[in-house]
Amino acid sequence: MGLKDKLMELQQKALEEISSAEDLKKINDIRVNLLGKKGPITEVLRGMRDLPKEERPNVGSFANKVRDELTNAITERKDRIEALKTAKRLEEEKIDVTLPGVPVKAGQPHIIMQVIDQIEKLFLGMGYQVVDGPEIEEDHYNFEMMNLPKDHPARDMQDTFYLTDNNLLMRTQTSPVQARTMEKHDFSKGPLKMISPGKVYRRDTDDATHSHQFHQIEGLVLDKHITMADLKGTLQLIARTIFGEEREIRLRPSYFPFTEPSVEVDVSCFKCNGNGCSVCKDTGWIEVLGAGMVHPNVLKISGIDADVYGGFAFGLGPDRFAMLKYGVDDIREFYLNDVRFLKQFSQRG
């Protein structure tokens, strides 16, 4: 059998093998075995050296034609296999656009953030500014500018996380935000009306009603002719916004170093309407926050003329507000990230 006949026989068998290949691995193996340096076509062509010179061009031309036809056949089969594979995948993955969509569960703000947002919305509507400040604070702003010098016994009321030698600390209240704002405020541009929400930190043992980290919102108003009546009206508005329009408040004398006079604020029980129950311990009232008129020393430390300007301040805990409003008896529930607990509280205004 001559070289030309061997090439024709090889071409016929190769075309049959190519046409029967059903996957890309098989067609790639055929290409390597058939057209590689050690393939049968190369072996046949090595026999050309034994041919007469006048026959070599004719056989060489035919061999190149066979190689090209097999190469084209392999390419076409490969393209066909890939097309079939793509068509099959599209058939399996097709989407019926007429089917109803799968509902996606939407998240919502944490219940404490809902309370904070509600309070912020209330005060923004009254022209207050919401001011933020650093959680790592200086002793000067956290204590001294709040009328708490280094030897003041009232410092024992707040167990503090100190980061350096009595200088840098984790703020125990959001009052230092007020101190920083008072330093910079220009009364020629109007009164100072602000709230300062944020996290605060105290060395406390975590239990059902205490946490070493919690939230606080403090409010401050400074201007000429501010009275206790202005404070009471503001506190009444807070209570009715959070706990219901029927709520009343009462003020009891208390002590805070940064206010004088100082008061504890109670709200009429929203569970029993003041008749007495387990929530209010049968008193009809629930303690919710502390407040008072800004101490003259606080104004003087900030460079404000206490004979001209005065004001009121208050501080409340959104964590406590949420516990009272929604009947949560363990503050730790807010921080456990238990979705079963958190999803009970739908978005509230």
Residue ranges for the known binding site for Mg(2+) are: 260
Annotated binding site: 260
DSSP state of 51: S
For residue 339, CA distances in Å to 73, 111, 244, 343 come to 61, 12, 27, 6
- Is the omega angle on the peptide bond into residue 261 within 30 degrees of 0, that is, cis? yes
For residue 38, CA distances in Å to 2, 25, 48 come to 20, 19, 16
Whole-angstrom distance, CA of residue 271 vs CA of residue 220: 30
DSSP state of 74: H
Whole-angstrom distance, CA of residue 231 vs CA of residue 193: 12
Q: Are 56 and 45 contacting, i.e. CB atoms less than 8 angstroms apart?
A: no
- 85 is written with which tokens? 């594979």
First to last CA, the chain: 95
Whole-angstrom distance, CA of residue 345 vs CA of residue 331: 15
